[in-house]
Amino acid sequence: MRPILCVGETKQERDAGRFQQVIDGQLHSVLSNFESDQLASMVIAYEPVWAIGTGDTASADQAEEAHHYIRGRIAEVGAALADGCRIIYGGSVKPNNAGDIFSQPNVDGALVGGASLKFDAFAAIAAASVDPQFHQNNSG
């Protein structure tokens, strides 16, 4: 079993421009209490609270901004650690947004919630994880 550390902000914190502060607080206890070798196998999910179960999702740019920030914070512990750490997006991942999210350079995958209960939706998300252009090429 591999634990997944979920970090993310509320809509009010995002709108107030405080998402980095919030993520810092959430990451701090983990990064300061574990050794680098323990952190090497860590998976972090950026899961904005405002997107959980709401149907709202972060834009691809918002997801990349958060993932880039998280990777930068981990790089302060060690560059190799930041390169090896998997940072995934969780927050209303759907077939119609998965390709855009997966195409971002700092997004390593997804933590899929409700869409995982629908075979066709989950299959489309899985296909987009291999080919982010899948949705655009197979919509119809």
- Residue 125: give its domain's CATH number: 3.20.20.70
Considering the entire predicted model, what is its pTM?
0.87
Per the structure, the complete domain to which residue 38 belongs is given by: 4-135
Mean pLDDT of the region 107-119: 92
CA distance 52 to 8: 10
Q: What tokens does 77 get?
A: 């512990």
Percent of residues, the chain, with pLDDT higher than 70: 93
Rounded Cα distance, 76 and 137, in Å = 39
Per-residue pLDDT of 48-83, as tens digits, reads 999 887 767 889 999 999 999 999 999 988 888 888
Residue 140 included in any domain: no
Q: Sheet holding 43-46: strands in order across?
A: 4-7, 43-46, 86-89
Residue 70 resides in a domain? yes
The tally of domains found in the chain comes to: 1
Does 140 have pLDDT greater than 60?
no
